[in-house]
Structures are given as structure tokens and as C-alpha cells.
Chains A and B, each alone.
Chain A
């Protein structure tokens, strides 16, 4: 590991000082002069017609300033929250896009849907007054189960979507796949449930909307992962405002995991209402509101088949998925179970033909959208559970079966049958490293030891792949994306030699202030402490697309790298003038401009100073040293690796103990290995949470959210998790300037399959996630009974 502060060094984080001393500044920590508080009255019903709303008693309550409903927003021309990705179904039709108004107009469609907004001098007054609003509901039958959504007789969530179908979509050659399956030596079949998750960033969402009548402009403080994208959606689609009149500030944000990408009803309403009441309007979600109304994740039911020849060589894969999108389309809901899912079904393997059909449906549940991994954990879960099951059925060691089918090292760039071209990888290397770290050779003895103690031991693999560095704009545009997915950077030398970097990426835990500083410090040869990273404020940064899809370093970092290159090019012209040399003879080395073959040299700081005090300066060159760059990636990046989980189950209690976890990941070049390992740890924990503990449950009859608090929704705690063994291989990305691939989602993508493969190996029987103690105990008991 390199010493110092350059690329590759485990630099301690610059941002930590404020967080460890209580000086972080999150949205709820901000108070604006004259601020008032918003509280949302939410639907208690999963499905109902709103016949009338009488808010007169609430309006008369102490401290109440206003009560707004969907009718007030409608009168002001407030639009629908849009879905930004058009998926074309298998018949060539665009997906069904029913309106999604911030406050409902005539119907509520899930428990937690937004009925009215109360604004009062204090939060307690707003909450109290909301209880005095009388809503006349006519309850309607509800459905929360995606697999039942298309059935005749199932309640219709939207008139615009017959059979509750948003789209029936396909990818791949169905005829070729069916033929290969028909002629195969063996076909392994699985049915898998990818459980619905509630993201649960520990900071709840919050917003402060503010209106300045003097300039007729708005400021929105928001817990956003992408302030410009939020502004774009708010202005262009919902509120109909010019972007010049709206500033969005996303200050310190306490975790996102996807749930803070979207433009939600609450921040929209706070922004709109700020003008109505001419006071700043603040809203902070109670955790119970986060459970009800944050965008949820996953919720797939999948039937999958893998066809093999007699040696276990994969011949074809067929996947049928039902994806529950909830009651409305969140901003990117449509692309998650399609282009971020089916395109990854080749995994790390050379499966020649693959077919995937996805039926995406509406139900009376909270909207579902991207959650850490977004489609790729679902794909990995299908592929890696299927492969492990195939290994068991074929009697082939699961590591060996994978190796027989890996895309070989010399096959890159590798075109898969599901649209993607993998850029680079060494899948066998990561597997071998993982086998060593996990002491796979010693597993049989450990299993025997567990047996001797009456315990069940299992081991499970997950050789995952993901498409990150989202994304080449032309490619995603051709697939229906409504936006470009480039990133921007501005690198500004200040006159005294410090550097301000303005990035469109947003850090909500990823450590950009450190990683990006390392990148700039290393590239420009200036001390780390002389670099500041500015992000999260549309009033300060260039238009940027924000942080999700493990894109910040691969796309945002590449933009910074390009801007630094431009700085160096301009610096050469200034330095050449100062040293009376030809520009062609000037080289940049470790922070100094030198004239080749001489001892003439000018430090970066001297050149920056000359740019701002241009007394002795090239005639035809603009003063100043500040460069903008936009970077649009040529391809996705493809991080990949192998995780191995080992568990020991107590059949008498059903408790699963994770006794070993090995992760060997290939993220390409690594800028800060400490931060990267931290991302891996956190990702694994979220994947373990999904596999072992977490699961969103709605009551099938009433549509009530059963897991609506931390008393009911089982978050992974310190005691549920082991320490992890993390290794890395390094296969640089060949198409971005840094060679980086992205690391934020890998753990969450790899972990569920590894853990469920281990648990089902130990039990000898299939169970679905979450493999909580009750399910595991029942499975262990049924196996015991069957053996007796």
C-alpha cells in the first residue's frame, strides 16, 4: 500500500473531524428564519376513494397556518411526479405511466399515501391539527401481492393499467433458449423470492422549502443524492419553474442507498408551499414515515432454468420474473427490473443464449425503486442460486462448476447474449484467492467437527458481476432513459495555490472529500490539505448527475481527472512563457513544470499565481486557472468477484451463525483501499440483512404495513454480523482514465446468494429469504423428521 496521500494510499478521511465531534450539518440540523413545520396526513387505507376532505377544524387549531390538499396543488397546476425511464414492452408499447400526484386527488393507493399537508408554527401543532382533518374514505379491496396482480378479479390499482400490468418485457432469443433446454443433458429449475426491503438510511428524509419574493426564487434543502437531478425533475416536470429560480442544497446526507435519489411528494410540497405561506417550510420524516413512504427495494418472484451438457457446461438460461413496482412509478422504477437486471443474467459465465421475461405490476404498496445494487443483486441472486443448485444436482463441486463456465481471461471485451460488453476481468483469479482465504480445503473437516457438536455447517459461493459507472448516455438513451448519465467537474486554482474542486457527484458517506482530494493532489502535485471538494449545491457546482450505481469515481472522478489534464495543459503554456521556452519542451512532473533537458522549473503554485496576477503572461492566453470537464463513459464498468459464506446452524434454535465471510473483489484500480474495504463491509451487511433478517411484510387482506418500525423490521445489528475477510484483485478498467470500476454496491449484490447458498447447503433443503430463525428451525426440524 503506498505511503503518503497519493492514489492507492489509505488516507484517513478529511470529512471525519466534523462527524466525530457532532459538527456535521444534516438537513434537519438546519433552521431557517421564520421557519414553520409541515406534517403530512397519510392514508390509513391501502386502497380507497377519497370522497371528501374537511380541514376546517384543523385550520382552526392553534398555530396552524394552512392545510393543503391535492385540489390546492391541482389549482396551481402542480404536475405528476414523473418516471424518467421509458421501457418499451415486448409488443412495442411504452410502459403504462399512471399519474402520481404529490398529494392525492381522488384515490389513495397505499397505506402512507399523501392525503393532506398541515403547516403550523410548531411540529407538535401540525401533528395535533392533522388529527382534526376529516376524510371521508370509501374503502376499496386492495392487493399487495405482485404475483396476484395480473389475475382476473384482483383489484385494479390504476384504470390506465389493465391487469395491473406496467409492462410485459423481454430480452434475448426465446426460441434458441427453448431449443437448447429441450436438448440439454440436465436442466436445473428454481423458484426464488427476492424479498422486498425498506432501505433505512439512518438519517430519515428531510426537506426545507424556502421562497424569496424579492427575487421570486426558491431554495430547497434536501436529503438528496443528486441535487441537480432533483432540481431538474422539480422544475421541468412538477412545478413548472425555470431552473434559474430554484436552488437545491443537499448538505451532509446520512446515507442514501438509492432511497434518496428520487423526487418525492414531501420535498415537492414543501417547495410549493413555501411560496403559498411565505415562510420556510420544514419537514423531517419520522422513522415510521420512512417505512411507509420511502421507495422500497427488490420484490421479485422468479422462475429460472439452467440447461447444461454432461460436463456441466452451461447451454442456456431462461428467467421469468414478476416485479412488484408498488402503487406508483418512482422516478427510475421501470429500469431496475429490466435494463439493470436482465442484462446481468450472464453473470461471469459464457452461457451462450439467455432469455428473460419480466412482468412488472402495480399493487397497493409503497413504490419500489433502486436500492443498493438495483436490479443487479436480483440478477446475481438468480444466477448464483441457480448455479449452486445445478452443482448440487450434477454432483460437481460448486467452485469447479463455476470455473468451467467462467468467461476466460483472454476473451475480453466479451459480448454477452444479454446486450452488455464486459470490459475486463479475471474471474478465476478472484475465485482462487477466495478459496485460499476461506480455507476451502479444510472445509470438510470443519463440517465434520460441526456435526460432532450437533450443528449443521454449510458453505456458499457467489461469483457476482455488476454493471457500474452508470452510464454511457447514448446507450441508456437508446434504452429509454430520459436523462444523460455523464458527470461534471470544475477544478479551480485559487491565486495562492489552493484548489477548489466542484463536483456533480454527491457524498452521503462515500468519502469523496478524501478520495477526490487524493486524486487531485496526486495529479496536480499539490498537498492534500490544499484541496477542497465542493458538492451538493446547485448554486455552487456545475450541472451534475449525482451519486448512485457505483458511479462517483468511475464517472465523476474521471471528469475531475479530465479537468486536471486541462489545467496542466494550460499551465504548460503559462510556464513556457515564464521560462522563455517552447510549450512543446515543457513537461509536468510531480507538481512542477520543467523544460526538458534543463534545470529550468516552475512550481504549480507559481504558475497558478501568474495566471491570476498576469503581469508577465502570454499575450493570447486568458488569465485564470480554472477548467471544466464533462465525462460521458464509453461503457459501463464491470466490477466482479467471489464471496464465500460459511455458516453454522443450531438445529434446535434455528439460529444461523456466520462463522466466516470471504470477499475477493476486483474494482480495477483503487484510490483509497481503506474506504473501498469499508464500502465492501457495508454492502455485505446489507446483503446479509436481506438474506437473514429483513423483509417488508404487508398484511395480505388489509394492505397494512406490518413491518412499520424497528420493532418489526429486523435491521442487522452488530451482533448479527461477523468481521469480514476482504481481499482484492486488480484488473483495471480499460476505458476510463483512472482504470477504476466502482465499489459501492458489490457487497449488497454478492452477499444474499452466498449466504443463502450456505444456509441451504447446511439444511439440505430450499428456503426463501429472509432465512430467519423460525424458517431455519422449521426446515431443520422437517429434515430431521424426514431422516428419522
Chain B
């Protein structure tokens, strides 16, 4: 079996993987980072979004081997020193989650949006999040949370 090495949430990891192992399965099963979720099998739902070298990717759409040498950040690595990331705090403050299953992917995607566009309009937020499904919130409060995070409130 091939060996893969990468940095996940700041820690260096090296593991043997089957060639067909997806990054999301590597994170969930071999590193026990179960905050990244699997909601579909066609790369549509976005529950598995993580950051790869700082950019949001669907971790169900990459083989673990393709992340060789990469810096990966998952939802577990977003808060620092016990302080919630502003996007996490905004999701809580604005009730942008209900069942919580889409939430990690939604937050990771929204964080990347603000890296690309510091003050997006409502339309831009909704367009950016087209790759993330939420069945609970109707997106209303997710949009509010992202707006709030972008305004630093």
C-alpha cells in the first residue's frame, strides 16, 4: 500500500492507505477526525468541505494520495487556543445550524468565501454556497451569519 504524508490541523501525519482511499475517509477513519461528514456520493452536498493549502475543497473528491505534502485544515482545526473562529461564533450567534450535519462543511466553505471576498453581498454569499446543501435552515440564518462574520460583528 502507498504511504501518504500531509499536515493536518498543524500536525504532521504519515499513514499507509489503499490507493482508492478518499481524503474524507482518510480523515474520518484513519485520523478519527469525524467532524468532516459524508452526505452524498456525487460531490454535491458539501458536508465534507475542508481546506487544502488554504482553499476549500470537497474532500470526497480527492484521493488521500493527492493531498501528499499538503496542509489540510478541518473543522476541528479552525478554532485556536480555545477561541472559536469568528465564523463559528457567527453560526452560533445567528442560529445558522439545526441538526449540525452540514455545518462543518458550510463553515469551512464560508471561511474561504471571506478569504476571497471580504464583504460579499447576500447574492454573492448565496452563489458561493451553492455547493453546500442544508436541509434544516432554509439558508436564511446561514446567510445572516456569513454577513455578520464579514462585518466582524
Contact with B along A251-282 (1 / 0, CB 8 A): 01111010000000000000000000000000
Interface string of B57-87 (1 = CB under 8 A from A): 0000000000000000011101100001000
Q: Is A721 an interface residue (CB 8 A)?
A: yes
Contact A21 B98 (CB under 8 A): no
Q: Which residues of B are found within 8 Å of A25, using beta-carbon distances?
A: 34
Central interface residue in A13, A204, A686, by most chain B CB within 10 Å:
A204
A138 within 8 A of B: no
Q: Which interface residue of B28, B76, B100 has the most chain A CB atoms within 10 A?
A: B100
Assess whether A24 is in contact with B35, with CB atoms less than 8 Å apart: yes
Q: How far is the CA of A23 from the CA of B35 in the complex (A)?
A: 6
Alpha-carbon gap, A201 to B37, bound state (A): 13
Question: Which of A73-81, A520-528, A614-622, A673-681 is the contact stretch?
Answer: A673-681
From 713 to 771 in chain A, residues with beta carbon under 8 angstroms from any chain B beta carbon are 715-719, 721, 723-724, 747
Chain A residues closer than 8 Å to B16, beta-carbon distance? none
Complexed CA–CA distance, A723 and B98 (Å): 17
- Min CB gap B42→A, angstroms: 5
User: With the chains together, A15 CA to B75 CA distance in Å?
Assistant: 16
Chain A residue nearest to B127 (CB atoms) is A719
Q: How far is the CA of A508 from the CA of B20 in the complex (A)?
A: 33
Interface residue from A253, A678, A683, A686 paired with B95 (Cβ < 8 Å) = A678
> Do B129 and A255 touch across chains, with their CB atoms under 8 A apart?
no
| CA distance in complex: A677, B95 (Å) | 10
Residue A170 at the B interface, CB < 8 A?
A: no
Assess whether B40 is in contact with A20, with CB atoms less than 8 Å apart.
Answer: no
Q: Which of A187-223 contact B (CB under 8 A)?
A: 200-204
Q: Is A598 an interface residue (CB 8 A)?
A: no
In Å, the complex CA distance between A649 and B100 comes to: 34
- CB-CB nearest in chain B for A687: B138
**Known contacts A22-B104, A23-B35, A719-B126: does B41 contact A682 (CB below 8 Å)?**
no
Whether the Cβ atoms of B135 and A29 lie closer than 8 Å is no
Bound: A760/B5 CA distance, A: 58
Question: Is A685 positioned at the interface, with any CB of B under 8 Å from its CB?
Answer: yes
Given the complex of chains A and B, what is the CA–CA distance between A201 and B39 in angstroms?
Answer: 9
**Known contacts being A202-B39, A202-B135, A718-B143, is A15 close to B20, with CB within 8 Å?**
no
Cα separation A679 to B140 with both chains bound (whole Å): 11
Least CB distance, B15 to chain A, in whole angstroms: 15
Chain A residue with the shortest CB-CB distance to B105: A202
Shortest CB-to-CB span from A546 to chain B, Å, is 15
Instruction: Name the B residues within 8 Å of A23 (CB-CB).
Output: 35, 76
- Which residues of the other chain, A, contact B132 by a CB distance below 8 angstroms? 718
In the bound complex, how far is the Cα of B103 from the Cα of A674, in angstroms? 18
Task: Please tell me if the beta carbons of A202 and B133 are within 8 angstroms of each other in the complex.
Answer: yes
Q: Mark A3-21, 1 if CB is under 8 A from B, else 0.
A: 0000000001101111111
Query: Do B122 and A28 touch (CB < 8 A)?
Result: no
B79-114 contact mask (Cβ, 8 Å, vs A): 1 or 0: 100001000100111010111111110010000000
Q: A13-B95, A22-B34, A718-B132 are in contact. Are A202 and B102 (CB under 8 A)?
A: yes
Chain A min CB distance to B72 (Å): 13
**Is B141 a contact partner of A203 (Cβ separation < 8 A)?**
no
Within 8 A of A (CB), among B111-152: 122-123, 125-127, 129-130, 132-144
Of the candidates B40, B107, B138, the one whose C-beta lies within 8 Å of that of A684 is: B138
- Contacts A22-B35, A718-B129 given; indicate if A709 touches B99 (C-beta within 8 A): no
In angstroms, Cα B78 to Cα A23, docked, is 12
Q: In the complex the two chains form, what is the Cα distance from A510 to B47 in whole Å?
A: 19
Do B100 and A21 touch (CB < 8 A)?
A: no
B104: chain A residues within 8 A (beta carbon)? 19-20, 22
A167 CA to B100 CA, complexed, in Å: 40
Q: Tell me which of B28, B99, B133, B139 has the highest count of chain A C-beta atoms within 10 A of its own C-beta.
A: B99
Interface flag for A288 (CB, 8 Å): yes
Name the residue of chain A whose CB is nearest to the CB of B35.
A22
Q: Are the C-beta atoms of A685 and B138 separated by less than 8 Å?
A: yes
Q: Which of A20, A22, A710, A724 contacts B36 (CB 8 A)?
A: A22
- Chain B contact residues, majority secondary structure: loop
Known: A678-B95, A686-B135. A20 touches B41 (CB 8 A): no
Which of B33, B95, B125 touches A12 (beta carbons < 8 Å)?
B95
In the assembled complex, A44 has its CB within 8 A of some CB on chain B: no
The distance in angstroms between the C-alpha atoms of A454 and B50, with both chains bound, is: 43
- The distance in angstroms between the C-alpha atoms of A200 and B45, with both chains bound, is 11
Q: Determine whether B44 belongs to the interface, using a CB cutoff of 8 Å to chain A.
A: yes
A445 interface residue, CB < 8 Å from B? no
Structural contact, A723 and B143, CB atoms closer than 8 A? yes
With contact pairs A21-B35, A286-B41 given, residues A675 and B88 touching in the complex (Cβ less than 8 Å)? no
User: Are A682 and B136 closer than 8 Å at their CB atoms?
Assistant: yes
Q: Are the CB atoms of A287 and B42 closer together than 8 Å?
A: yes
Q: Which residues of B contact A20 (CB under 8 A)?
A: 75, 84, 88, 91-92, 97, 100, 103-104, 107
The answer to whether B23 has its CB under 8 Å from any CB of chain A is no
A253 to B98, CA, bound (A): 10
The residue on A at minimum CB distance from B20 is A124
Instruction: Pick from B78, B79, B101, B143 the residue with the most CB of A within 10 Å.
Output: B101
**A26→B98 CA distance, assembly (Å):** 14
Decide: B95 and A202 in contact? CB cutoff 8 A.
Answer: no
Chain B residues, Cβ within 8 Å of A17? 92
Q: A146: CB under 8 A from chain B?
A: no
Residue contact A509 to B99, C-beta cutoff 8 Å: yes
A557 in the interface, Cβ–Cβ < 8 Å?
A: no
Q: Chain A contacts of B135 at CB under 8 A? A: 200-202, 255, 257, 682, 685-686, 715
CB of A697 to closest CB in B, whole Å: 17
Contact of A203 with B101 in the complex, beta carbons under 8 Å: yes
Give, as a whole number of angstroms, the nearest-CB distance from A730 to chain B: 20
Contact of B76 among A22, A710, A711 (CB under 8 A): A22
**How distant is the Cα of A16 from the Cα of B75 in the complex, in angstroms?**
14
Identify which of B33, B41, B74, B101 contacts A26 (C-beta below 8 A): B101
| Given A717-B133, A719-B127, A723-B143, residue A252 in contact with residue B100 (CB < 8 A) | yes
Q: Would A681 and B138 be within 8 Å (CB), given that A709-B40, A709-B42, A719-B130 are in contact?
A: yes
Is A287 in contact with B39, judged by CB distance below 8 angstroms?
yes
**Is B88 touching A21 in the complex (CB atoms < 8 A)?**
yes
A675 to B137, CA, bound (A): 10
Q: Which residue of B lies closest to A19 (CB)?
A: B100
Q: How far is the CA of A718 from the CA of B143 in the complex (A)?
A: 8
Inter-subunit contact B126/A255 (CB<8 Å): no
Q: Confirm or deny: A511 has a beta carbon within 8 angstroms of a beta carbon on chain B.
A: yes
Q: A20-B97, A201-B135, A723-B144 given. 8 additional CB < 8 A pairs?
A: A20-B91, A22-B104, A202-B133, A252-B100, A710-B42, A711-B42, A716-B138, A724-B138
22 A–B pairs (Cβ distance < 8 Å), ordered by A: A12-B93, A13-B92, A16-B91, A16-B97, A21-B79, A21-B84, A22-B36, A22-B76, A26-B34, A26-B37, A201-B101, A202-B135, A203-B39, A255-B98, A509-B99, A509-B100, A678-B95, A685-B139, A710-B42, A710-B44, A711-B42, A721-B139
* Residue positions of B touching A, CB distance < 8 A: 18, 20, 28, 33-42, 44-45, 47, 74-76, 78-79, 84, 88, 91-93, 95, 97-104, 107, 122-123, 125-127, 129-130, 132-144
Q: Which 7 interchain pairs have the tightest Cβ spacing?
A: A22-B35, A254-B101, A19-B100, A685-B138, A509-B99, A710-B44, A22-B75
